[in-house]
Amino acid sequence: MILSPDISPEMIKKLSLAEKEQLCSELRAYIIDVVSSTGGHLASSLGTVELCVALHSVFNTPDDKIIFDVGHQAYAHKIITGRYTDFRSLRVKGGISGFPRPDESEHDAFIAGHASTSISAALGIARAMELQGDDHTVISVIGDGALTGGEAYEGLNNASKLKRRFIVILNDNEMSISKNSGAIAAYLSQMRSSTKYFETKKRVKDALSKSAIGRELAKSVSGTKELVKFAIFQSNIFENLGYKYLGPINGNNLADMIDVLNVAKQYNEPCIVHIKTKKGKGYLPAEQNSGEYHGLSKRPLIMSSEKYDTYSETAGKYICELAGQDDRICAVTAAMKYATGLQHFAKAFRSRFFDVGIAEEHAVTFAGGLASQGMLPVFCVYSTFLQRCYDQIIHDLAIEKEHIVLAVDRAGMVGEDGETHQGLFDVAMLASIPNTVIYSPSNDKELCSCLHKAFYDCDGIAVVRYPKGIACHSSNNFDDSDIHFYPKGGKALVVTYGRTVNNAVAASEKTNADILALTRIYPIPKEAVETALKYQKVIFFEEGISSGGIGEKFAFELMKNGWNGKYRLCAVDGEFVSYDDTDSQLARYFLDTDGIIKITGETLEQT
């Protein structure tokens, strides 16, 4: 058994190749074991085990800097950099994050929660090191999915000017979360299948002979079969940008990986190492369905046959239903077809389905272009990724007065993914933009009703936001009003929206408070304000940030009408919400049933 609590980069460097290969097998088994109980990003990290072992065989962190793009692929890196024992607390409150975090380990050079950022961050680190006289290596690890994002090319463009060692490892597994699409995916596929190899021994030896270290390395690898498995592609987009190019390399062959990284280390200029890996490597279900096993919730890897629709699936199916009745409806996703429930639409209406890759800004402006020609586009996107699109929403939609639907998935607390993925900022961001309507349904039928209104009852930007998880089922006597009032004859009014409505209604059985549920949350319905003006005590519960949120705006509307009662707002105030299970996160901010009972009781007791 090689893998142990004492595993470290220093230990790895002392292992034989056979021992390192055994370590890779043990790392895979350990990752599968832990993720099966804690949840996490399984398939990506299984595919990069050899890469992580090779990186720590060749480079010396924390002096050398490794920046992982997104961080889904960094679990093996975490384990072998002093976090073997802590890995069992993955994504658990008080445990370690699912993403690289510099405040967690000196071996994590930069936080990585969103895609396409690693090259830019690595370039900034490299320039800072250059200014400080530090000639250690900076390595960016970026997936081919993240390479569909525009920021990656901005980084590549600027990094090509470096006159120092700078390595970009392109981890090519033909996937982001959904199957990659577009010209870049096709280009990489062509490179994998039709690359013209030429004799590499001389090229590699020439590269190694440029330094004393390289000459010694050349002696040690001379004549090996692994050496001639390298290839340098003679003319490609990366070389045209000014990079040395090594690849494609089998990224799941440890010997090849160690050799190619040793070669890349000898170049005193920017270098691309193109590796081909198998997402889900070593775990057959993840290999066969890497999209399904991209990210797992806290559950056993053997799935239950029982099936319930999530909010994402409910939205995706209803959008598909509407598209069957209206051929103007188009669906847009940023590499999230399955995650946002659009697989049904993609199958039924292929010509009206657009997966633009990890390019959210482009998706918004592209949708604006569709709308300008009379189409009805819906962009299905996670709340956390919509944050990237603020300028495009203002400039290319709102000012243009284009009508599109933003289906904002994972709105609110999302649990174990932590600070980088919480959907807490979309309301404050979108409510600041003129000509925008925002809906926040609390159950499955409301979600469908809100989507219908967004398509057909609104002009401009129409937003429907909904949470992660199984959709709450509505009662049979469904009412599609913009507000819902639940009178209890109480002396205080609880106001809320989204899934918190269900907790507030449950809490009302034990409190002397009436409930006002907002389905259209912005612009705030006049009748909602008129209802609240009748109370001297109003409590607003909001699963979002307090600054700029609906709770703050609701209070302002009351004050404009001369209201002088007691107002309390429970929301996230001035902080980022760390990783924990969603129920615990809701409880922390008094947004669960018990929290609403507690805050309402305290408010009623106040004179």
Q: What is the pLDDT of residues 99-129, one digit of tens each?
A: 889 999 999 999 878 889 999 999 999 999 9
pLDDT higher than 80, residue 199: no
Report residue 213's pLDDT band, with 50, 70 and 90 as the boundaries: low
- Provide the Cα torsion 169, 170, 176, 182; round to 10°: 160
Instruction: State yes or no: is 388 an active-site residue.
Output: yes
Q: What is the DSSP letter of 502?
A: H
Q: How many Cβ atoms sit within 10 Å of the Cβ of residue 308?
A: 11
Angle between helical axes of 17-38 and 49-58 (0-180°, round to 10) = 130
What are the φ and ψ backbone dihedral angles of 447, each rounded to 5 degrees? -60, -45
Mean pLDDT comparison of 32-41, 155-164, 191-200, highest-scoring range: 155-164
pLDDT higher than 70, residue 184: no
Q: What integer is the mean pLDDT of 457-473?
A: 96
CA dist., res. 36 & res. 45, Å (int): 13
Helices first, then strands: H and E counts in the chain: 25, 17
Residues 76, 49 contacting (CB under 8 angstroms): yes
Say which residue, 90 or 551, is predicted with more confidence: 551
* DSSP-assigned states of every residue in 10-34: HHHHTS-HHHHHHHHHHHHHHHHHH
Whether 9-196+248-288 and 484-605 share one fold: the answer is yes
B/e letters for 286-303, b = 16+ CB within 10 Å, e = fewer, are bbeebbebbbbeeeeeee
Range from 65-69, 153-157, 235-239, 525-529 carrying the lowest mean pLDDT: 235-239
* Residue 354 Cα distances to 9, 24, 345, 421, 512, angstroms: 43, 38, 10, 24, 50
pLDDT higher than 80, residue 206: no
Residues 421, 384 contacting (CB under 8 angstroms): yes
Instruction: List all residues 6 or more positions away from 546 whose beta carbon is below 8 Å from its beta carbon.
Output: 552, 569, 571, 572, 573, 574
Report residue 204's pLDDT band, with 50, 70 and 90 as the boundaries: low
pLDDT above 90: percentage of residues in the chain: 71
Beta-carbon-side half-sphere exposure of residue 502 (alpha carbons within 13 Å): 15
Nearest to 141 by CA among 216, 283, 44: 44
Q: What is the DSSP letter of 219?
A: H
Q: Within the chain, what is the greatest distance between any pair of CA atoms?
A: 87
Instruction: State yes or no: is 279 an active-site residue.
Output: yes
- pLDDT at position 281 is 81
Report residue 330's pLDDT band, with 50, 70 and 90 as the boundaries: very high
Structure tokens at 361: 């800004």
Q: What integer is the mean pLDDT of 78-105?
A: 91
- pLDDT at position 284 is 65
Which CATH class for the 9-196+248-288 domain? alpha beta
CA dist., res. 593 & res. 504, Å (int): 6
Residues 257, 263 contacting (CB under 8 angstroms): no
Which CATH class for the 484-605 domain? alpha beta
CA dist., res. 166 & res. 205, Å (int): 20
Mean pLDDT computed over every residue of the chain:
88
**Fold of the domain built from segment(s) 311-465:** Rossmann fold (3.40.50)
The structural domains of the chain, with segments of one domain joined by +, span 9-196+248-288, 311-465, 484-605
Report residue 230's pLDDT band, with 50, 70 and 90 as the boundaries: very low
pLDDT higher than 50, residue 16: yes
Q: Which of 337, 388, 468, 537 is catalytic?
A: 388
What are the φ and ψ backbone dihedral angles of 484, each rounded to 5 degrees? -135, 130
Residues 151, 159 contacting (CB under 8 angstroms): no
pLDDT higher than 70, residue 306: no
Report residue 202's pLDDT band, with 50, 70 and 90 as the boundaries: very low
- pLDDT at position 63 is 97
Q: Which of 279, 337, 465, 537 is catalytic?
A: 279
- pLDDT at position 32 is 92
Structure tokens at 148: 């569909």
- pLDDT at position 223 is 41
Q: Which of 151, 360, 361, 402 is catalytic?
A: 360
